[in-house]
Amino acid sequence: DSGVTQTPKHLITATGQRVTLRCSPRSGDLSVYWYQQSLDQGLQFLIQYYNGEERAKGNILERFSAQQFPDLHSELNLSSLELGDSALYFCASSASGWGQPQHFGDGTRLSIL
Amino acid sequence: AQKITQTQPGMFVQEKEAVTLDCTYDTSDPSYGLFWYKQPSSGEMIFLIYQGSYDQQNATEGRYSLNFQKARKSANLVISASQLGDSAMYFCAMREGADTGNQFYFGTGTSLTVIP
């Protein structure tokens, strides 16, 4: 158990809809990262938050947004969903310091029908 | 330039043999950490091993060891005595600098298949 909790585990919805993915980081971790992994693809970095503030942005679409709340949990909002958004979405958290690894949640598998 | 390069899309190894998965990195920061993750077919990402840029010794964790060659900027993962359960995707990653909250950079991964 990594200590990172992601909900829901599975999500099935239709094109044009909006969904929210939730992540609770490991206790004490201030950094939260979101990744997208499409079928047979590597990890695509979306966005990073540190203690409530956005720190880095990757290949995140304008239809996607995220935030980190004062209790450090984070939400990733995906809107106007398209078939190509079907993927496994990971949240990861890490402690401060370059020697600290990321710990990943089990992911949310999003299927767009 | 790519921060992390994994040049082997797929690898095969016989059960009980050792296998080396390649990873090269690119950074000008003297402080950095290198990490390997395993992703089995079930999908979860499992942290395996860490090597710091100032570490003199190669990191080891059970059957996993990291062959760290700083001058060549390589951080290869060595799995000894391969088991069927080692069949998975393996990702190399790097984190730079001493600042808090720094981004991680991942390679494209290597798919390892262990043959009975």
Q: Which residue has the higher pLDDT, B115 or B29?
A: B115
Query: Does B91 sit within 8 Å of A102, measured CB to CB?
Result: no
CA of A45 to nearest chain B CA: how many angstroms apart? 8
Residue among A47, A51, A46 at smallest CA distance from A29 = A51
Residue B100 has pLDDT above 60, yes or no: no
* Range list of β-strands (E), chain B: 4-5, 10-14, 19-21, 24-25, 32-39, 46-52, 60-61, 64-69, 74-79, 88-96, 104-106, 110-115
Q: What was the pLDDT predicted at A112?
A: 96
Identify any residues that bridge with A75 across adjacent strands, giving them in sequence order. A22, A67
| Least Cα separation, residue B62 to chain A (angstroms) | 18
Q: What is the CA radius of gyration of chain A?
A: 13
Give the position of tokens 């809107």: A79
Phi, psi dihedrals of residue B95, rounded to the nearest 5°: -130, 130
Share of chain A above pLDDT 70, in %: 99
Percent of chain A with pLDDT over 90: 87
Do residues B25 and B34 make contact, with C-beta atoms less than 8 angstroms apart? yes
User: Cβ(B20)–Cβ(B74) under 8 Å?
Assistant: no
A positions 57-86 inside 8 Å of B (CB): none
Interchain contact, B95 vs A98, CB within 8 Å = yes
Q: What is the pLDDT of residue B101?
A: 56
pLDDT in tens, A55-104: 989 989 999 999 999 999 999 999 999 999 999 999 999 988 888 899 99
- Give pLDDT, residue B14: 98
Across chain A, mean pLDDT equals 94
CA distance B32 to A50: 19
The minimal CB distance from A42 to the residues B47, B97, B106 is found for B106
B66 contacts B51 by C-beta, under 8 angstroms: yes
Under the banding of pLDDT at 50, 70 and 90, the label for residue B38 is very high
Q: Do A109 and B43 touch (CB under 8 A)?
A: yes
